[in-house]
Amino acid sequence: MNKLLDEKLVAQSYNLQDWQKGYLSQPNEHEYWIDEIEGEIPTGLQGTLFRNGPGLLDIHGTPVRHPFDGDGMVCAISFMEGRAHFRNRFVRTEGFVKEREAGKILYRGVFGTQKPGGWLNNAFDFRLKNIANTNVIYWGGKLLALWEAAEPYRLEPSTLETIGIDLLDGVLEPGDAFAAHPRIDPSCHLDGGAPVLVNFSLKVGLSTNINIYEFSLEGKLLRRHAHNVPGFCFIHDFAITPNYCIFFQNAVTFDPLSFALGWKGAGECVKFHPHKPTRIVAIPRTAPYKEVKVWEAQSGFVFHHANAFESEDKIYIDSICYDSLPEVEPGADYKETDFEALAPGQFWRFALNLQEGSVGRQMIESRCCEFPAIHPDKVGRPYRYLFTGAAAAHNPQGNAPLQAILKLDLHTQERQLWSFAPQGYVSEPIFVPQPNALREDEGWLLTMVYDSSRHRSQVAILDGRDLDKGPIAVLHLKHHIPYGLHGSWTNQCFVS
Ligand code: FE
């Protein structure tokens, strides 16, 4: 091995072969009380952490082209009086059930998975396989697995058994989309200070319809309005303030021909335009919903926003930005990702001037990060602490797998970082406030960590005030869970 390569390997916090193992399928479903625990589970931590993500990275031995095409598998980790119970179940979507019966791939995946038989067997097949793999929320007494291009699937929270497609008491029509990134306004001024769930759906064509929905704590529809935005939109997430829903219309176009002819998956037909601006659209949450504001910012690609808030004549929005869309190359193997060749996600603050229509932007954190999280009571409000998955301590610059949890004090710029490198790979952190907490960072961060040394996953609990001291508790699962996407916390515990 030459010296240069040798030095590079020594400096790396990760090993590609280790990282790849976190993308092996987990076909088995488990339920058990977790009995291998380092440290102690805080007794004040009572409730359930729900997680969703691709459980199958192959369908009867044929690999999916991209993890985003993997069938949704929901995990529930229930915390009760210092103990923790684990359960995982696949969402029995129509596609999952039919493919299991057939023993082969029956649907095209959005991110490039194709039916066997080449393009001729894929051409003009526009059916979507709702894989329900992106997020899971408990709201209005329902546990819902979400995938942004189709309807939610409802699950039984105590068993994770699939009940079926849920049209939210008639709010959705069959076939409607419902985004996977709902935001919970902790205290909505339109509803007497009650918590409200806000979400959106897109109907994409030459122009795009953005539908916005707001639901009460009981799951009843409070407000619904639709807006037309010129051009194609690829909008995965949004942010809210008390008065606005804010969307980033990334500078992308869609080539329908390659999709229609069966040459590429829909996601592979999205093209990023680095010289075109990102359009930022703020839609009012208050009737008559007419005063839509639009800004243009320097191009870049955003999947996730951390938060937004209003202050004087500005809306601030904090987002993870990439210099360009990590495009899905047809034929490329996601497991061979060359991290160093890809632009890292970095944390930026945008200031949208409501009077002048100008946009300011500032990079706050250059370390590669993804999956931002904050205190749930600070959604849409000024806040102080950002928590996010991040590259390990060894990797302050450039792209790398997420191996650490970063805490950023936005008032003092102080940073704390706990790294699970070299053999741990983190998922999205979820912040759970401590009961009767006085400080914004007084709570626990829960994150699922893939431990490549044992090919098993663990749930790590970190102290929100002090990440540097390491996990308060590490709960070792008996198996691995493939890298997940999103999840949520509820104070309800579903284990008897
Ligand atoms: Fe997401």
Cite the beta strand spans of 252-313 per DSSP E.
Answer: 252-254, 270-272, 278-284, 293-297, 301-311
CA 89 to centroid of ligand 1, rounded, Å: 20
pLDDT tens-digit map of 323-372: 987 666 666 788 888 888 888 999 999 999 999 999 999 999 999 999 99
Q: Say yes or no to pLDDT of 125 above 80.
A: no
96 burial type by CB count under 10 A (0-12 exposed, 13-18 middle, 19+ buried)? buried
Percent of the chain with pLDDT over 70: 96
Q: How confident is the model at residue 4 (pLDDT cuts 50, 70, 90)?
A: very low
CA 304 to centroid of ligand 1, rounded, Å: 6
Say what the pLDDT of residue 268 is. Answer: 81
CA 203 to centroid of ligand 1, rounded, Å: 18
CA 134 to centroid of ligand 1, rounded, Å: 7
CA 82 to centroid of ligand 1, rounded, Å: 30
Say what the pLDDT of residue 327 is. Answer: 66
pLDDT tens-digit map of 419-446: 999 999 999 999 999 999 999 999 999 9
Say what the pLDDT of residue 1 is. Answer: 34
pTM of the model: 0.95
Q: Say yes or no to pLDDT of 382 above 90.
A: yes
Written as six digits, the tokens of 496 are 């008897």
Q: Say yes or no to pLDDT of 224 above 90.
A: yes
CA 487 to centroid of ligand 1, rounded, Å: 10
CA 138 to centroid of ligand 1, rounded, Å: 17
**Closest CA relative to residue 18, chosen from 422, 442, 482, 474:** 422
Say what the pLDDT of residue 405 is. Answer: 98
CA 319 to centroid of ligand 1, rounded, Å: 12
Summarize the confidence of residues 50-68 as an average pLDDT: 92
**Closest CA relative to residue 475, chosen from 86, 157, 81, 160:** 86
pLDDT tens-digit map of 274-329: 889 999 999 999 999 999 999 999 988 999 999 999 999 999 999 999 998 766 66
Q: Say yes or no to pLDDT of 460 above 50.
A: yes
CA 8 to centroid of ligand 1, rounded, Å: 31
- What's the chain's average pLDDT? 92
Q: Where are the alpha helices (DSSP H) in 86-178?
A: 94-102
Q: Who wins on pLDDT, 330 or 224?
A: 224
Say what the pLDDT of residue 496 is. Answer: 67
Summarize the confidence of residues 9-34 as an average pLDDT: 90
CA 485 to centroid of ligand 1, rounded, Å: 7
CA 237 to centroid of ligand 1, rounded, Å: 6
Say what the pLDDT of residue 252 is. Answer: 87
